[in-house]
């Protein structure tokens, strides 16, 4: 049961006080600071990005991820790396379909956190293989374990 700190009457009185100027709103820290709106979902991050270093990170992640799957599932998964492409975060979010495996991880020695999004076919295929199946999971999967995953990095 969620409780509100203020009643509806108190909220309307507060809003009226702000609108008529009887309650000052420009008090506090950084009152002279200029603020620019920033929409993370529409950010064009293609400027100033070193694609070569992202390719190296991607290749190393795929190698480590594949070795982890081999060790855990005791089978050799087929990993098909895609070309690294830079897309707007909002466009990427629109392309995702539930259910997903979304994980926030640290990749030392890189600074900050990373987000790893794993397609549900990979999750279900891995579970099937882990429990003794052939890695078929759900849907029409090609023979063997295929995967699609995205790694993004965001600084702290």
Q: At which residue do the structure tokens 């429990």 appear?
A: 131
Q: What CATH number is given for 46-154 in this structure?
A: 3.40.1550.10
Q: Is the model's pLDDT at 104 over the cut of 50?
A: yes
* Residue pair 123/147 in contact by the 8 Å Cβ criterion: no
pTM: 0.49
Taking alpha carbons only, the member of 129, 150, 39 closest to residue 86 is 150
83 pLDDT band, cuts 50/70/90, is confident
pLDDT for 150: 45
Cβ neighbours around 59 below 10 Å, total: 12
pLDDT digits (tens, 9 = 90+) for 61-70: 888 888 888 8
pLDDT for 37: 77
Cβ neighbours around 116 below 10 Å, total: 16
pLDDT digits (tens, 9 = 90+) for 43-63: 565 556 777 888 888 888 888
């Amino acid at each position: 049961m969620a409780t509100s700190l203020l009643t509806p009457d108190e909220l309307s009185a507060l809003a009226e006080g702000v609108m008529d100027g009887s309650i000052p709103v420009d008090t506090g820290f950084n009152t002279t600071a200029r603020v620019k709106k920033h929409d993370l979902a529409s950010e064009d991050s293609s400027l100033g990005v070193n694609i070569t270093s992202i390719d190296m990170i991607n290749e190393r992640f795929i190698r480590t991820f594949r070795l982890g799957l081999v060790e855990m599932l005791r089978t050799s998964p087929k990993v098909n790396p895609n070309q690294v492409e830079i897309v707007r975060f909002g466009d990427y979010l629109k392309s995702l379909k539930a259910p997903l495996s979304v994980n926030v991880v640290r990749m030392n020695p890189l600074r900050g956190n990373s987000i790893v999004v794993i397609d549900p076919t990979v999750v279900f295929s891995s579970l099937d293989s882990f429990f003794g199946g052939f890695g078929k999971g759900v849907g029409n999967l090609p023979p063997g374990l295929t995967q699609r995953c995205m790694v993004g990095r965001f600084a702290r």
